[in-house]
Amino acid sequence: MTQPSTPVVLLGLERSVYTRIARLVLEEKGIPYSLQEVEIFGPSGVPEEHRQRHPFGRIPVLHAGDFALYETAAIAKFLDEAFPGPSLQPSGAAARARMNQIIGVLDSYAYRPLVWGVFVQRVSVPLSGGTPNEAEIARTMIAAATCLSALAHLAEAGPFMVSPNLSLADLHAYPILRCFSLAPEGRALLAKHPPLQAWFNAMRARTSVQRTESKYEARQ
């Protein structure tokens, strides 16, 4: 078990979905950490020193003492297994597989359409003075509908996606769905899945979620 005194630094951005997933795990585990902002979306692109940490130029990257790690699902599992605090992974093989399946669906099929296709176009682009690409939104809403149906099908009735306890699946899903819900069409689609909506509302009330709110949410 990693010593609770190990310095933990998360390199990312407060407004980044994947950074938030890792922060939710840190918050739920009660691991003290600092967030070091790395601006990868600036006009000069990914800073060279960040490419040394992450060859694909993404965020977040975790430093725990002298151990460095990228890929959020790996970071989340490492934090859960290496540090004390409540366990965020079910012990049964089937429940653990379901949790990993939901995380895989989120990474492979949900993040791009829900966040880049809908949220970025509908919310971020206008905030920077641009015009949303309506064709892109319409196209990705079709993929988003498939994702929400799949998640609604895979998730249990509640209170958590893999009940009875909070797991890494919930913490991976919330930041992606939260961005999506900031777009009116995202909100409307979520409301068509009442159990998923109820899960979302319950997640929204958690202290970890409130402590990691982004500037986009403050506007709502």
Ligand X SMILES: N[C@@H](CCC(=O)N[C@@H](CS)C(=O)NCC(=O)O)C(=O)O
Q: Which residues bind ligand X (CB under 6 A)?
A: 16-18, 40, 58-59, 71-73
Neighbours of 85 (CB within 10 A): 14
C-alpha span between 185 and 189 (Å, rounded): 6
Residue 58 or residue 206: which is nearer to ligand X going by CB? 58
Shortest distance in whole angstroms from residue 191 CB to ligand X? 25
Give me 19's structure tokens.
């950074």
Shortest distance in whole angstroms from residue 159 CB to ligand X? 26
Sequence-separated (6 or more) residues with CB below 8 Å from residue 136: 117, 121
Residue 38 or residue 162: which is nearer to ligand X going by CB? 38
Answer for the pair 161, 97: CB distance below 8 angstroms, yes or no.
no
Shortest distance in whole angstroms from residue 102 CB to ligand X? 14
C-alpha span between 148 and 215 (Å, rounded): 25
Residue 31 or residue 59: which is nearer to ligand X going by CB? 59
Shortest distance in whole angstroms from residue 117 CB to ligand X? 13
Residue 19 or residue 208: which is nearer to ligand X going by CB? 19
